[in-house]
Amino acid sequence: MTFKPGHTEAYIWIWLPGETDPVVCGKVAARDAGPNAIHRFVYGRSYRDLEAAIPLLPHALPIKAGEQPSRRGLHGVLRDAAPDAWGRRVLMYKLQMSVERGEAELTEIDYLLAGGQGVGALHFQGDAEAWQPKASHTAELKDMLSAAEAVEQNQPLPPELDQALLHGTSIGGARPKVLINGESGQPAIAKFSSTTDHHPMVKLEALALLLARRVGIETVTSQQLSVMNKDVLLVNRFDSEAARSGRRHFFSALTALDLDEMEARYAGYPDLADYLRHYSDDVTAQCRELFRRMLLNIMIGNSDDHARNHALFWDGRHVHLTPAYDICVMPRMSLESSQAMEVGEQGKRGTLANALSSCGRFGLTKAEALQMAEEMEVLIRQSWQEACEEAEIPEQLAANLWERTVLSPALHQD
C-alpha cells in the first residue's frame, strides 16, 4: 500500500440528492496534531455558488465563506464517514504500524484519505480538480472471512486479500466486516464473528433484526449465511439502497446532538426526538418510530444502542431516520439492564416505567405509549420461537435469553 501518514488536509466531495456523480464540496484541514486537534472546514467557492448545494448538516456548518472550526477532533459529520474501530485496525495492520512499538499514529485526515469505499454521500481525496473513484477489490466471501480472522490474529495476508479487506474500512463499528456486492448487485456489508466472541453474535444480531421487523420497525435488509461453517450476516447498505445510481447523505445521532465520543454518555432518546421535531417533515411518525426503537432495545436487552448506532438521512430540507441497524440481543447475567442512551427520568435504566416517563417528548400520551409497549410485548412473545429458529439460535441459548435478557421481569419494575 503506497500511503505516507501525516496528512493534514483533504478535499471533500459529495453526491447531491438525485445526482449520479459527486461534486467538490470543500476542504478540511488540521492545524495541530493528535486525535483531538481542532479541524477547520471551509466550503469551496464553486460549491457555494451551486444552486443545488446543501449544507452538510441542518443545524451546523451553514453554507458560507470562511473557515468553520470544530470544537475538538473532526467535525461530527466527517467523523461519521471515517473508519471506526475495525476500519482503523485494518489500516494500522496494512501499514504495519503499532502504538506499542512506538511508531507514529495516523492522523484523522489520514484515516479519511486511506479509508476504502466510504459510506454515505461523502468522499475524501487529495485532489479538488477531478473525482478519483477508489478502486474496488473483490474476493470470495470465504477468503474475506479468512482475511478478517488473520487481521484479528495479526497474521500476514496475500496482497489481493488485504486490498479487498481495505475496501470496507470506512464502515463504522468495532466488529469484523467487509464491503461486498450482494446477489442482486446491491452494495452490502458482510459482518463476521470475532475470534473473541463468547456467544454467536452474528446470529443474535440476525435475531434482533427479525424481532424488530415483527414489531413494525423499519430495518436494514439482511440475509444470514454460513461460510466455512461460520456465521455471516449480509446487510444491504441503506445509503445506496434507495438511490442506486448515487449516494444518500446521512449522519449519526451523535452528530445530530452535537456530541463527540468523549460526550457520548450524554446522548438521549428524548433529545433525539426533540431534534426530529425541529428538522423532520413527518414529526409524528418519526417520533413514534424512534420511541418504538427505544422500547425494542429495552425489551430485547440491546445495551449497545449508543448514538452512533442511530442515524438520519439529510436531503438538504428534512431529516428522516435511516433503517434500524446494528441492533443485537446482548446476553447478560443480570435481569436489570441499562441502555447506552438516556431513556427518561431515571436516566438510562431499561424499564417500561422509565420509557413512559419521557413519552411526551415523543408526542405520545401515557396511554398511547403504554398501548404501543403492550402490543410490542405481545408480538415478541408470539414471534420468539419462530424468530429463534429462523436465526438458528441454539435451543439452550434461546432458553437462557427468554425472560432474562428478552422481556426480563425487570422490564416492569417501577
Digitized pLDDT (tens) for each residue of the chain, 414 residues in all: 456 778 899 999 999 999 999 999 999 999 877 778 899 999 999 999 999 999 999 999 999 999 999 999 999 999 999 887 777 777 777 776 554 454 557 888 988 988 756 679 999 999 999 888 876 656 678 888 887 887 777 777 766 666 666 655 555 556 788 888 766 667 888 899 887 889 999 999 999 999 999 999 999 999 999 998 899 999 998 988 544 568 999 999 999 999 999 999 999 999 999 999 999 999 999 999 999 999 999 999 999 999 999 999 999 999 999 999 999 999 998 888 899 999 999 999 999 999 999 999 999 999 999 999 999 999 999 999 999 999 999 999 999 999 999 999 999 998
Is the model's pTM score more than 0.75? yes
Q: Read off the DSSP letter of residue 202.
A: H
Could you tell me which of 97, 180, 188 has the C-alpha nearest to residue 144?
180
Residues in the chain: 414
Within this chain, domains 141-239 and 247-412 share the same CATH topology: no
CATH tag, 141-239:
3.30.200.120
CATH tag, 247-412:
1.10.1070.20
The answer to whether residues 267 and 79 touch, using CB atoms and an 8 Å cutoff, is no
Instruction: Please give the pLDDT value at position 1.
Output: 47
Instruction: Please give the pLDDT value at position 350.
Output: 98
Q: How far is it, in rounded angstroms, from Cα 47 to Cα 409?
A: 55
Q: How far is it, in rounded angstroms, from Cα 208 to Cα 85?
A: 22
Q: How far is it, in rounded angstroms, from Cα 81 to Cα 78?
A: 5
Q: Give buried/exposed letters for 327-353 (b at 16+ CB in 10 A, else e).
A: bbbbbeeeeebebbbbbbebebbbbbe
DSSP 213-228: HHTT--B--EEEEEET
DSSP 57-107: -SSS--S-SS-EE-SSSS-HHHHHTS--HHHHHHHHHHTT--TTTTPPPPP
DSSP 10-61: EEEEE--TT-SS-EEEEEEEESS-STT--EEEEE-HHHHT-TT---S-SSS-
Instruction: Please give the pLDDT value at position 240.
Output: 80
Q: Where are the chain's structural domains?
A: 9-125, 141-239, 247-412
